[in-house]
Amino acid sequence: MDLGLTDRVYVLTGASRGLGLATAQCLVADGARVVVSARDAAAVTAAATQLGGPQRAVGIAADLADPDTPQRLVAAARDHFGRLDGALVSVGGPPPGTAATIDDAQWRAAFDTVFLGTVRAVRTVADALTDGGAIGLVLSTSARAPVPGLGISNGLRPGLAGVAKDVSDEYGPRGVRVVGLLPGRIMTDRNRELFAATGDPDRARAEAEAAIPLRRIGEPAEFGRVAAFVLSPAASYLTGVTVPVDGGALRGL
């Protein structure tokens, strides 16, 4: 199936590694061009090179907590590639810990980046898009069911799912789509760190896999292909929903 991605242009945040980079790889493989961003300048430059260099990808060092970041990314897409067709807004996972033990400073720092940074990026990109544009928000299965030990994620991700639905209603009449993506256990650096933090990563992984109907941890490319489809014109009647990519782990219908 032709996804219709040839020469379309997307902005991706948190895309120097993990799910953001995997999505960028899938978009570029189907003919899209991308502006990838992350806080680490060296990492984002390396990612852009890996994605094909200036003809296919541009890297921008940026932090979503910075109010100027979304407009910088929109401008970069237009300056380098002459258009903007959508975005994947991904933010690194907040620190682990239960909601009751995380202090105010950690909550505020996470809110500024994970929540407000995402809302600001969605608002800015949506305002810049025209009919056929699409935005994907990388959230978590915690948007539907709390994940033990990830109190900040459990607190902020459901709110972002609500924001995505609200924004999809507002921009739908303009032909702009907004979809939430709910990755489960995907073998990214984030999940490796969470497994390692238990003190017995092999056991932690085995226990996680036992709770997944497919009995395995997902690969980043498996998420990336779903995200690329959601952003593509092939998904033109898909908006205002959250899509789990979790091997069947969520138990709700």
Tell me the pTM. Answer: 0.95
Contact 109, 151 (CB under 8 A): no
Contact 73, 13 (CB under 8 A): yes
Quick: pLDDT tens for 204-213. 999 999 999 9
Evaluate whether residue 253 is within a structural domain: no
Report pLDDT for 92.
77
Structural domain range at position 53: 9-186+226-243
| Domains held by the chain: number | 1
Confidence of residue 42 (pLDDT cuts 50, 70, 90): very high
Evaluate whether residue 251 is within a structural domain: no
Distance CA 31, CA 41 (A): 25
Cα–chain-centroid distance for residue 88? Answer: 5
Evaluate whether residue 220 is within a structural domain: no
Evaluate whether residue 213 is within a structural domain: no
Evaluate whether residue 204 is within a structural domain: no
Evaluate whether residue 175 is within a structural domain: yes
Cα distances (Å, whole numbers) of residue 157 to 18, 107, 114, 221, 232? 18, 13, 8, 22, 24
Cα distances (Å, whole numbers) of residue 88 to 9, 135, 136, 230? 11, 6, 5, 10
Report pLDDT for 166.
97
Report pLDDT for 107.
95
| Structure token pair of residue 11 | 């902005």
Question: Is a pLDDT exceeding 90 seen at residue 95?
Answer: no
| Structure token pair of residue 71 | 């407009």
Report pLDDT for 252.
87
Distance CA 35, CA 57 (A): 6
Which CATH number belongs to the domain containing residue 146 in this structure?
3.40.50.720
Report pLDDT for 145.
94
Evaluate whether residue 135 is within a structural domain: yes
Quick: pLDDT tens for 212-237. 999 999 999 999 999 999 999 999 99
Evaluate whether residue 252 is within a structural domain: no
